[in-house]
Amino acid sequence: MTTRTIITGTGHYVPPRIVTNHDLEKLMDTTDQWIRERSGILERHHVDAGVGTSDLAVEAARRAIAEAQIYPATIDFVVAATLSPDHYFPGIGVLVQAKLGLGTIGALDVRDQCSGFIYALSAADQYIRAGTYKRILLVAAEVQSTNLDFSDQGRDMSVLFGDGAGAVILEPNPNEDDRGILSTHLYADGNFVSQLWMEKPCPKDNPTFQRSFFDEGRFFPKMDGRTVFVNACQRMPEAVRAGLVQNGLAIEDVDVLIPHQANDRISLMVAKGLKIPVEKVIRNIDRMGNTTAASIPIALDEAVKAGRIRRGSLVALTAFGSGFTWGSAFIRW
């Protein structure tokens, strides 16, 4: 059997400040009822001033490292996924590496938005199986609350998103058993770029930063919610089915499905489309909102800690997001 990649530690961190739907009612023309009914979200976490994505990532990474019971110095590569890096450049991979004191190991930044964790997991899996690296820290983190439009104009977006981070430690399976990442499937369709994006800043503008863009609110993320909704409900089941086919599995074999937490109605539609009992679906968007790349590793860590994922469990992950990008991963825990 070829060596598979196993996850030896998981961790997550969310900033302590909770923002409820009622808090948002004070900022814009919205209601707790609308947000609950349309998204399933009750509250989300927002950072306080001065806290960046790499800070959340480092906390999540420390927790995953502690759970894996490893010395940080034995990590030989970092993969980081985010759409909200601390700086325009460089990405957060190097900041995580430096803040954790990981020497001069390489740090790869992955930019695939809500699908970022699955894309990053796929890349890390290839490195491990090829023997290139032996212990990878994969961290996905987001600070979105600092660039959302909390006016009435931005209410369709700003009520959905939250801040947070999740991390995993990846290593080759040392044993002759079937544990590990079984498959990853990645997809994209760049024809949908402007359906879910942050248009500006855009270096093809000269100069990149123009006051009129601020005045027009073009530095805020925007989406066509309906199109995103419809495509997410279609693409995530497709990606899961591709994994089932490749692995010769049936949906009944899946013990736990973790869909990207975009909207609880989307998660329920994905479950329905796949005909998987809703009890097998991890849903934490009520407390987290949509944390983009961080949503799957946060949910994964919670599911592991709650005992919903155990040794031998078959775990399916699926995500959909800006790009559009989407994908799935199957893991024998």
Tokens of residue 323, six digits: 């790009």
Q: Applying CB under 6 A, does 288 fall inside the site for ligand COA?
A: no
Q: Applying CB under 6 A, does 318 fall inside the site for ligand COA?
A: no
For residues 288 and 64, the answer to whether their CB atoms sit within 8 Å is no
Tokens of residue 131, six digits: 């023997």
For residues 232 and 262, the answer to whether their CB atoms sit within 8 Å is yes
The answer to whether 114 is a known catalytic residue is: yes
Q: Which is nearer to ligand COA, 141 or 169 (CB)?
A: 141
Per the omega criterion (within 30 degrees of 0), is the bond before 207 cis? yes
Q: Applying CB under 6 A, does 77 fall inside the site for ligand COA?
A: no
Q: Applying CB under 6 A, does 225 fall inside the site for ligand COA?
A: yes
DSSP string, 212-277: HHHHTTTTS-EE-HHHHHHHHHHHHHHHHHHHHHHHT--GGG-SEEEE--S-HHHHHHHHHHHT--
The answer to whether 147 is a known catalytic residue is: no
Q: Which is nearer to ligand COA, 56 or 159 (CB)?
A: 159
Q: Applying CB under 6 A, does 114 fall inside the site for ligand COA?
A: yes
Q: Applying CB under 6 A, does 284 fall inside the site for ligand COA?
A: no
Binding flags for ligand COA, 27-66, as an x/- string (CB under 6 A): ---x---xx--xx---------------------------
Pick from 72, 60, 170: nearest CA to 124: 170
Q: Nearest to ligand COA by Cβ — which residue? A: 225
Q: Catalytic residue among 114, 173, 185, 231, which? A: 114
Distance CA 232, CA 151 (A): 26
Q: Which is nearer to ligand COA, 38 or 99 (CB)?
A: 38
The answer to whether 233 is a known catalytic residue is: no
Residue among 13, 117, 229, 324 that touches ligand COA (CB under 6 A): 229
Distance CA 97, CA 215 (A): 37
Q: Is 28 helix (H, G, I), strand (E, B) or coil?
A: coil
Q: Catalytic residue among 21, 231, 263, 290, which? A: 290
Distance CA 93, CA 96 (A): 5
Q: Which is nearer to ligand COA, 34 or 213 (CB)?
A: 34
Q: Candidates 2-10, 51-59, 218-226, 302-310 — which segment interacts with ligand COA by CB under 6 A?
A: 218-226
Q: Which is nearer to ligand COA, 228 or 281 (CB)?
A: 228
For residues 295 and 114, the answer to whether their CB atoms sit within 8 Å is yes
Residues annotated as catalytic (active site), given as ranges: 114, 260, 290
Please give the residue ranges that form the binding site for ligand COA (CB under 6 A): 30, 34-35, 38-39, 114, 155-156, 159, 196, 223, 225-226, 228-229, 262-263, 290, 320-321
